[in-house]
Amino acid sequence: MKRISRIQLVTGLIIFVIMLLTNCTSVDENKPITFTPVVDFTAFAGSASCASCHHDIYEKHLHTEHYSSTSKASAERILGSFEDGKNQYVFDNGATVVMQRKDSAFYQTEYANGQVQKTERMDMVVGSGRKGQSYININGNRFTQLPITYFTAAAQWSNSPGYPPHNAAFDRPITSRCLECHTTFVQQVKSISPQVEEFDKTKIIYGIDCERCHGPAAKHVAFQTQNPKATEAKFIVNPAKLSRQQNLDLCSLCHGGRLQKTAASFSFQVGDSIAGFFAPNKNFMDATNIDVHGNQAGLLSASKCFQLSQLTCNSCHNAHENEKDKIALFSQRCQTCHSSGHQKLCKLTDTIGTAITQNCIDCHMPKQASRSIAVYLQGAQQPTPVFMRTHWIKIYPKETDKVKHLLKATRAKGNLNAKEIR
């Protein structure tokens, strides 16, 4: 199977090149859209340059998952183990991929019957590691995803999500759309087809950085540096001054699920309407079909909170801070609307008592299994999913039973004042 498809691919490429060389007219019809983003690498200043004037925001942002969503491979950033015995993954066909450290570089090497089949360097890390990390090999201008991923929930190496369990695949090209969601900017140099693209590895801005959400800021930095007395900002966008829809569109660029692009990756900028860059997303109509991975915008828009108020992502999230697992803090934010005199109160308020106010989240935004991020752990017949918070805020009777049960157990242990739960 794999061989045939490779032969087909190679033949296809040869034909394509011949057609290009002979200037064959039929090529035009199949020509990939020329994806030249309107933004250039030189328009960026890099987040380190913001530190001198926006010190607090800069420091906090270093701890966010956005900041570490992509980085250069390093011992510090790669979470998986290189220790003997813990550094391999065995496929169904007997092939073994071993993670190795040589000098200052990191490799994934495939062995079959003791012979090296393939060895590729891990150059870029994708993922802060909250759920996991995948690794990219950079060979010249070509970026490829490596077969082995680190899966945080099981604290072990696993097969990359969506990869076949039977054999190690080293041939998946990384597209500009993948990079658009995980980096601030990567300069594309060529688009051979929508799947095969080339990038300039010297022009990468790692992580989801300041300039991804505020726009390229070289001009802002130059202006404010030359005019240190100017108290008003120039050449920069503050999303707080934009409309609700513009704010939602900024986050939806990456948290709006699988969108079909109609313009160059990296050309969407803060303030733009998503509609000018992507085809309408039909999934928005049917929340039961939306995966918890990557489409918080779609799920949220199915919620009454969203439909009957001016709620945006920023009502609950602070874009500059890592607030992971601060459930009580998020619950307070629910209560800015759901408190007496404002929106409806929880119907359980009188039956569960004050304990309820510490955690609205486990009952109304429970963790659910993702269908799209699921990996094969070694030897497993079924993929193991990651669990994520759903953003479809509603009433989940089963989750309520679980939480009530836990509350009772806590009370039985005497950890809570008996008055807390009635």
Residues 182-211 that bind ligand HEC (CB under 6 A): 182, 208-211
Count of beta carbons in the 10 Å neighbourhood of residue 100: 15
112 vs 283, beta carbon nearer ligand HEC: 283
Look up residue 243 and give its two tokens. Answer: 């409309």
Binding mask 399-418 vs ligand HEC (x if CB under 6 A, - otherwise)?
A: -x--xx--------------
111 vs 391, beta carbon nearer ligand HEC: 391
Rule CB under 6 A: choose which of 73, 95, 122, 126 binds ligand HEC: 126
d(CA 106, CA 81): 11
**First and final CA of the chain: distance in angstroms?**
63
Contact between 260 and ligand HEC per CB under 6 A: no
186 vs 217, beta carbon nearer ligand HEC: 217
Per CB under 6 A, contacts with ligand HEC among 128-187 are: 128-134, 145, 174, 177-178, 181-182
3-state secondary structure of 157: strand
64 vs 188, beta carbon nearer ligand HEC: 64
Q: Which stretch binds ligand HEC (CB under 6 A): 28-36, 92-100, 274-282, 352-360?
A: 352-360
Residues 6+ apart with CB under 8 A from 338: 344, 345, 346, 360
d(CA 271, CA 373): 30
Contact between 389 and ligand HEC per CB under 6 A: yes
Cβ-contact 379, 90 below 8 angstroms: yes
Alpha helix (H) residue ranges in 215-360: 218-226, 244-255, 296-300, 304-307, 327-334, 349-352
Rule CB under 6 A: choose which of 121, 317, 420, 421 binds ligand HEC: 317
Q: How far is the CB of 199 from ligand HEC (least distance, A)?
A: 13
Per CB under 6 A, contacts with ligand HEC among 47-86 are: 47, 49-50, 52-54, 57-58, 61, 64-66, 69
Look up residue 356 and give its two tokens. Answer: 């309820």
134 vs 167, beta carbon nearer ligand HEC: 134
112 vs 367, beta carbon nearer ligand HEC: 367
Per-residue buried b or exposed e for 366-395, using 16+ beta carbons within 10 Å of the residue's own CB? bebebeebbbbbeeeeebebbebebbbbee
